[in-house]
Each structure stands twice: as C-alpha cells, then as structure tokens.
Structure 1
C-alpha cells in the first residue's frame, strides 16, 4: 500500500527543513494519489526538477518508497524548471509541486537508476 501523497509530501518537507534546507508546498494536489514534482533551487538562478519515475519492469521499490527521475538536470536555468512545471500543471491539475531551496542542491529523494 502506498502512502497518501499529502503524508509523503509532509515527510519530505520535514526531512529537508530538518537538514537545514527550506522546503515548502507551492501547489497542493490530490490528497490521496496526486503526482509529486520537486524543484530544487540552489539560490543562484539554477535549479533541478524531479518527477515520478516510470515503473520499472525489473525491480519493485520497497513498500512506501517513491522513486523519482530527473526532468530538468541540476545546474539548469531556474526558468527552465518553471516552464516545465507550467506544462505539467496544465496536463495534470491534481499534482503536488514542492520547492526546496538548498545551496548544496540536495533533493532528499530516492532517485531511479534509469
């Protein structure tokens, strides 16, 4: 069973804030199962964007683990991440959008190997 998106996002924000970054929800999505996107800003005009990883046919993650993949790579212009998110919101208005500001660029996510 998968954790509700709202609970998972709350835990991510706690984890990031507890490690000295600043995290906040920019857009609340569907409480139960909204897709989650995370933008990581390094506060120098650069950012990365992460979104849900496609399900893998080879291995299933541990229960409760959500895997993410890179949509906009680290070091890209922040405007690139914002433009991509605008398109994603137009496609899926029930998604969650979390922003993390961290000078080190830490995403605090489990990344897919793909």
Structure 2
C-alpha cells in the first residue's frame, strides 16, 4: 500500500534535516495523493527540478515506490519558478518541496529514473 503524500513528504523532510540539510514545503497539496515536485539548490546556487516520473518508469516488483525524473537541464531559477507556476495552475493538488541537501546526494534521498 502506498503511503499518503503528506506522510511521504514528512519522512523526506526528516531525512534531510537528519543529514544536515535544509528543506521547506513551498506548496502543500492534496494530503492523500498529490504529485510532488522537488526543487534542489546547492551551496553554489545551482538549481535542479525533479518531478514525478512517467508511469512506465515504475518497477512492477515495487509499484508503491515514488520515482522522480529530472525536469530541467541548465535552466535558470527563474525559468524553473515559471514552470512550477504553470504546474500549479494545471494541478492545484501538487506539492513543491525545496531542499538544500548538504553533504548527502539527492540520489540517496529520492529514487531518480532516467527519462
């Protein structure tokens, strides 16, 4: 059984803070099943956006896991903010979490698939 989005985001925040990083929920969406977008910033100011992976990326052995795909490639923070605004207008139930992972790589915190 898949955990609720609210519980999954809470667990992610706890992991990040426990590893010495910082996180903030920028937009809280539907508690049960809202899509999650993760905006990461590193210490040098570089940003990356991760969003829900396509359904074809899910493993049949682990269908309840959440998988993410990187949604940007060298885009500026302003372009990513504009994209997130469009996503919010399209789906008001989304979650947006901004994180600074610190010493832990993002791949250790979320499952990332290649598009």
Q: Secondary structure at the match of 1:97?
A: strand
Structure with the bigger percentage of strand = 1
- Structure 1 window deviating more from structure 2 (79-88 vs 22-31): it is 79-88
Task: Name the TM-score, length of structure 2 as normaliser.
Answer: 0.85
Number of the residue aligned with 1:51: 51
- Structure 1 window deviating more from structure 2 (32-41 vs 104-113): it is 104-113
In the TM superposition, residue 62 of structure 1 has moved relative to its aligned partner by 1.7
Number of the residue aligned with 2:110: 109
Give, in whole Å, the separation in 1 of the partners of 2:87 and 2:57: 25
Whether contact under 8 Å (1:89, 1:95) holds in the other structure is yes
Is 1:66 equivalent to 2:85 in the alignment? no
Give, in whole Å, the separation in 1 of the partners of 2:67 and 2:58: 14
Task: Name the TM-score, length of structure 1 as normaliser.
Answer: 0.86
Q: Residue deviations 1:24-43, cap 9 Å, x none? A: 11110000000000000114
Number of the residue aligned with 1:89: 88
Residues 30 and 58 of structure 1, relative CA distance in 2, 3 Å threshold = closer
The two structures, once aligned, show a CA RMSD in angstroms of: 2.2
- Name stretches of at least 5 consecutive residues in structure 2 with no aligned partner: none
